[in-house]
Structure 1
């Protein structure tokens, strides 16, 4: 501000000198010391992402704005050019030189509507002539600066005013540049009227005089170059899942049980991965921090979530949205208690004036969900929820058929967030995912003499971690888990096929007890339970990153943006998933796990051999043996008597 005041004072002094030396100036008609009213002016604007430049270590203090081209600044900032910014201009009035009572100064015409917006009163006027009112640049600058202290309100008014009266320049190109030539001389208002998705703070509106006096205060120039600053920022996206506590009667009212379960495996906390059995209900959420919104130019025009579920899951079609002040508040809530949580707003698609729409895929092979903000929803986001946290909750069930993928490949749930601001051809996409893992048992039943009937064998399976028995449907030794039972009496009796195969599909990674309740006649039951423990697949999921320069466009024909990023993509276009494979033990001994299709470590292999029972005495027990023994003795005695009689004879 001090530099501007010095320049302004120097300009006024120079103009005063010009008036004093008027005869000499008239002789020097070609001099640039006075305005050549036969000329026109031009305006060139360079737009850079100062947030990204500062983060990259560029010293922004080395650059000053003089109205003339700064090649050093352009070279240092070219990597951070912002494409797709629209500026609008309006010639607001004439520039006059006032000379009254020996006092000479420059004065500027402003229309009455603009005077009201920036707070100029009639008493502030330097001159009123007919329907024209003139003010000094000092008064205009001071009033504008004061009016912009409220930031949003005045910006909104100026943006609206420019939208009705101004002329839009071409959007900034890949180099961040836009320009307009052959402009009549006068005073111009410049307002940033459209921005791409990553711009958070628009440049404050400013006035430009064509021509302008250079920084030395000794020359007029007609081609003005501006380097307004922009701050950028991005929304966030975090996709998570958890086991639903309600289905296991684990609620906040049952805190002891909840504490017991979560201490075992944290399965009732939202996280990036979870393990689940078939038929189980799962809670999903994605949390997004809304970007910063300052005025109508930075309003969101699109904020859409596209969710794609693995084919092994089925949406419950119950999406609800809650909005929170902080990340902590968003993290500590769930789909079951949003209505009584710390949410500052809860939206349902069934509301009288819905703030969002939820559209689901129409077939089993199209497991998708689109959450799209309505006009009313966007209006509320833009005007009330800058920097707040929006959370989408919904539930889904694990299918009970072969669509569920077992093993390390898992069942991913992908979500993407597409957002746009007022420059609607420019957008960015964030992606994240969570994964549900499920497993199975591949048990082979054998008999020591290879003669037993495996179909006579029965097992019950208990989840020792969560204290329930498996319920399943199946035939010929192949079962799909369909539920849980609190008692053994209601548990499924699993039976192998005639070849001895028993396959159980769709169990969560826990510790299980296999109890053999029946075997074929003549074979021994197992002495105790078989303890099988599965350690689930671990995945470290890294979401995509937003484009740091916000220069993506699906409308443009150029194949790459200024920073080498393909249009319509993100810097990191794919979510990165790094996994640690599942493993298993049988009776504390490492077990082999085999594939399910293309997925590794899906089935725990178990082999159970029933031994032949020991032979038992026939009916009658020891008495029968005594009769046999007596018979043998008597027969032996008879033989001896016969031999003796033969000898006597």
Structure 2
């Protein structure tokens, strides 16, 4: 037995020296019988426990799953009783180039199987091209897998014929820098005490592993209606899937951990790391982050979810490569989402504002501005709609609807058409002379691609409508709504393992309003000596003056003013009918009296009415959500208006009282006799006065 122990000790030493994986641990079987000689009826097992690390201590090492081992039987083992002492011998199998002499040495019989023999056998096997290239046919394979406690990763070979086996690590995870060197294992082996044969052999080789980490920063950028990008804002609560590419299945697989069993990672909300995801312990391989949800936070809604993968590679030197650029060991991926905006305005003078004023019959010019996301070509929908109140009439020959495209606030000539077999956009609009109605511009895939290619970041749509007789007077105003409809997510069309596969993007809506006001003049005609007396039948012409004279004459008004209405007549209440002086914009107006009430004199000069109404508009933004509490739209509406200036009240009416006085009038035809006597009497009186004055001078 001492000889057998010594020979087995040599075998054990060979395994320890040659394998470069640390000292193997040999375990006894609790169920196998212990025999002094090899039981050739037995079958053996080889259990390989795999860890990361470089030394023999496994207490703190990380179990390493996914390592494939392949074993080949290279020699038979049998009891050798040819000498006076019991021993064992190897008989090489055919096909590997080994011969009996490979298992001999010049050592004494007691050292028959020493380290140099195992080294000689292993070196010869390693020179075999198939062994060297990992293409040796046959063999049994087993891959390490975590046990239920996840503390050990084991590969087990069972039902093994007794013999000497070559063990080769044929596949390993990407974090393994160097595979375990080929080594030999004898099945069976003696136990550590050398007192029995062990048919269940356990080996615990180790590998040096490389890991790295990466940080993803999630931001959102709002693009104002004119195309100007705001400052990116960190977004918390956004969810990403982390995937790793499996080169065996050629598919992407979720990277799961104890804290992320579903492979989903969420951006932080903690101060200092808001909007960030940091993942450590990534083995060298190809990875990608994919955004799957914007979360439920209201501040995140309105942004366009971008399901396009963010790929990166962890290299074996721990550096990170992104899009082919090596970013070193501290790599950061910035994933930014964009949120478009919309603005509705009306022309006031030479500029566009939230509100303006106009007279009935005026052509009112409007402008809709909408920002264009940089990934507009990937959106299923991008359209602009404008809805007009019934006080606005669409005149086809005067509407002059025009699209202007801008990049960095500079107009670009872009010939997009809405005709032909493949239009760039589809246009629907009201019929000619229609009151109210709406128009819609919806860009096609062709048009969206052209917007992207030209780097268009803003679109302006201008058009005109006529303010008609249905115009509302005062602070209620006459509204014009605009709406931007856009897809709120980008999902893959060809990517079967993308977690967003099969999802349909929803739509977000942004609404804004502009308003045009119109005012009125309330005229009351009264007796100058008694304002309670209302004068009816008085007629006026109304002019809007554009000249510079402070007190223009009637003739100057006719030259430098626009006649708004003529023959406006007061009723028994002294007022001009409501429709007569309604629907006026700000400006200098003059009332010219063309007919006085009976017994009253005409006014000597036109009466000025200065409409100079300031209006302060307050807008309120409302938001609405779908059944999953996702924001799908915002609506900005004009909720209040305050009028100031002049004598105009909140009803938008300027009140003016005009007095007339009775004057000298000639008698009517039937009173001629009386008039003659009156004239003669006056003449006599004048003659008497003349004679009296002349007499005094003579005296």
TM-score under structure 1 length normalisation: 0.53
* Equivalent of 2:448 in 364, 375, 378: 378
In the other structure, the counterpart of 1:563 is none
Q: Deviations over 1:55-82 (max 9, x none)?
A: 9999xxxxxxxxxxxxxxxxxx8x6233
Q: Distance in 1 between matches of 2:611 and 2:605?
A: 19
- Unaligned residue ranges in structure 1 (runs of 5+): 1-17, 59-76, 95-110, 112-164, 180-184, 216-225, 243-265, 330-341, 468-483, 560-565, 585-590, 595-599, 633-649
Matched, 1:500 2:574: yes
Matched, 1:523 2:600: yes
Q: Distance in 1 between matches of 2:459 and 2:597?
A: 59
Q: CA deviation at 1:309?
A: 2.2
In the other structure, the counterpart of 1:230 is 335
* Equivalent of 2:663 in 571, 589, 613: 613
Q: 3-state DSSP class of the match of 1:277?
A: coil
In the other structure, the counterpart of 2:412 is 343
Matched, 1:29 2:49: yes
More helix by share: 1
Q: Distance in 1 between matches of 2:241 and 2:393?
A: 44
Q: Distance in 2 between matches of 1:370 and 1:347?
A: 15
Q: 3-state DSSP class of the match of 2:448?
A: helix
Q: Distance in 1 between matches of 2:534 and 2:357?
A: 35
Q: Which moved more, 1:301-310 or 1:26-35?
A: 26-35
Q: Distance in 1 between matches of 2:643 and 2:604?
A: 32
Matched, 1:441 2:505: no
In the other structure, the counterpart of 2:393 is 314
Q: Which moved more, 1:167-176 or 1:408-417?
A: 167-176
Q: Distance in 2 between matches of 1:365 and 1:533?
A: 30
Are the aligned partners of 1:238 and 1:288 in contact in 2 as well (CA < 8 Å)?
yes
Q: Distance in 2 between matches of 1:383 and 1:200?
A: 19
Q: Distance in 2 between matches of 1:20 and 1:486?
A: 111
Q: Deviations over 1:251-304 (max 9, x none)?
A: xxxxxxxxxxxxxxx61332222110011111111122322339x7xx222222
Are the aligned partners of 1:427 and 1:553 in contact in 2 as well (CA < 8 Å)?
no
Q: Distance in 2 between matches of 1:616 and 1:268?
A: 55
Q: CA deviation at 1:234?
A: 2.6
Identify if the C-alpha distance between structure 1 residues 497 and 271 changes in structure 2 by more than 3 Å, giving closer, same or farther: same
More strand by share: 2
Identify if the C-alpha distance between structure 1 residues 521 and 381 changes in structure 2 by more than 3 Å, giving closer, same or farther: same
Matched, 1:458 2:539: yes
Q: CA deviation at 1:375?
A: 2.5
Matched, 1:389 2:471: no
Q: Distance in 1 between matches of 2:563 and 2:341?
A: 49
In the other structure, the counterpart of 2:427 is 358
Q: CA deviation at 1:322?
A: 1.9
Identify which of structures 1 and 2 has the higher relative contact order when contacts are C-alpha pairs closer than 8 Å and 6+ apart: 1
In the other structure, the counterpart of 1:141 is none
Identify if the C-alpha distance between structure 1 residues 515 and 21 changes in structure 2 by more than 3 Å, giving closer, same or farther: farther
In the other structure, the counterpart of 2:304 is 198
* Equivalent of 1:241 in 346, 349, 366: 346
Q: CA deviation at 1:167?
A: 8.1
Matched, 1:422 2:490: yes
Are the aligned partners of 1:406 and 1:437 in contact in 2 as well (CA < 8 Å)?
yes
The aligned runs of 1:66-105 (5 Å cut-off) are: 80-82=236-238, 90-93=245-248
In the other structure, the counterpart of 1:280 is 362
Q: Distance in 2 between matches of 1:174 and 1:426?
A: 22
Q: Provide the alpha-carbon RMSD of the alignment.
A: 5.2
Identify if the C-alpha distance between structure 1 residues 194 and 534 changes in structure 2 by more than 3 Å, giving closer, same or farther: same
Are the aligned partners of 2:306 and 2:337 in contact in 1 as well (CA < 8 Å)?
yes
Q: Distance in 1 between matches of 2:538 and 2:461?
A: 48
Aligned length: 424
Q: Distance in 2 between matches of 1:228 and 1:198?
A: 18
Q: CA deviation at 1:378?
A: 1.9
Q: Distance in 2 between matches of 1:171 and 1:384?
A: 38
In the other structure, the counterpart of 1:49 is 218
Q: Distance in 2 between matches of 1:284 and 1:168?
A: 51
Are the aligned partners of 1:516 and 1:526 in contact in 2 as well (CA < 8 Å)?
yes
Are the aligned partners of 1:92 and 1:187 in contact in 2 as well (CA < 8 Å)?
no
TM-score under structure 2 length normalisation: 0.50
